[in-house]
Chain A
Amino acid sequence: NAGVTQTPKFRILKIGQSMTLQCTQDMNHNYMYWYRQDPGMGLKLIYYSVGAGITDKGEVPNGYNVSRSTTEDFPLRLELAAPSQTSVYFCASTPQGRTEAFFGQGTRLTVV
């Protein structure tokens, strides 16, 4: 009963480094999302996917890339890390009707 699994839980990056945040779900959900959470700002949508091979930009996509080669996996890539990307990142998935979003435990990223 894993649900949505994110790795790593914590990471410190230096400016200019790159990394991939992993997200996997085992509920066969079509829809997957990446959000970032900053204090007092709620959740901002970075990218989302409505199925394997299909991705689209959300509110704050700059500096990030995604891919969706399988239904289960939706990795988020940071190519050139910047201090403004210091945040907590959440991956979520929903079934076809979007009647509930299931969240991972989050990745706390610090860029120094």
Chain B
Amino acid sequence: AQSVTQLDSQVPVFEEAPVELRCNYSSSVSVYLFWYVQYPNQGLQLLLKYLSGSTLVKGINGFEAEFNKSQTSFHLRKPSVHISDTAEYFCAVSSTTGNQFYFGTGTSLTVIP
């Protein structure tokens, strides 16, 4: 089975500052990795995903993430955040052989004006 750990439950950051949201996973098989964003009272929307190939993945809204196999991490970054980035962010993993997605407990990003 797989598991996902999001190391920070809340991250406050000032507008236009950079941000990194951390995600570590555990798995004994090859994995696919995802970041989803949830705006208040809405469903989850895909930000980006790593399936294979380049370890640096670019997503929507200026976000990017880097897959690090040796450190089993998939941290999400943005060089300059906006007020509109305030939301809950979920890291998720699925395996190439299993049937399920596993989600972290989420990181609440608050952008301060």
Interface residues of A (CB under 8 A from B): 31, 33, 35, 40-43, 45, 48, 50, 56, 58, 90, 92, 94, 98-101, 103-106
Q: A99-B32, A100-B46, A104-B43 are in contact. Are A42 and B103 (CB under 8 A)?
A: yes
Q: Which residue of A lies closest to B44 (CB)?
A: A103
- Pair B101/A98 contact, Cβ less than 8 Å: yes
Give the shortest distance, in Å, between A91 (CB) and chain B (any CB): 9
- Pair A90/B99 contact, Cβ less than 8 Å: no
Q: Which residue of A lies closest to B91 (CB)?
A: A42
Q: Do most interface residues of chain A lie in helix, strand or loop, or is the interface mixed? A: strand
Interface residues of B (CB under 8 A from A): 6, 9, 32, 34, 36, 42-46, 49, 51, 90, 92, 94, 98-101, 103-106
Other-chain residue from B34, B43, B98, B103 in contact with A106 (beta carbon distance below 8 A) = B43
In Å, the complex CA distance between A101 and B9 comes to 23
Give the shortest distance, in Å, between A100 (CB) and chain B (any CB): 6
Other-chain residue from A35, A100, A101, A105 in contact with B42 (beta carbon distance below 8 A) = A105
- Known contacts A45-B100, A92-B44, A94-B101; 11 additional CB pairs below 8 A are A40-B105, A40-B106, A41-B105, A42-B106, A43-B103, A45-B101, A58-B100, A101-B34, A101-B36, A103-B43, A106-B42
Q: A48-B99, A48-B100, A100-B49 are in contact. Are A40 and B43 (CB under 8 A)?
A: no
Other-chain residue from A33, A40, A42 in contact with B90 (beta carbon distance below 8 A) = A42
In Å, the complex CA distance between A45 and B102 comes to 8
In Å, the complex CA distance between A100 and B94 comes to 9
In Å, the complex CA distance between A75 and B92 comes to 24
Give the shortest distance, in Å, between B96 (CB) and chain A (any CB): 8
Q: Which residue of A lies closest to B92 (CB)?
A: A101
In Å, the complex CA distance between A56 and B32 comes to 22
In Å, the complex CA distance between A98 and B51 comes to 10
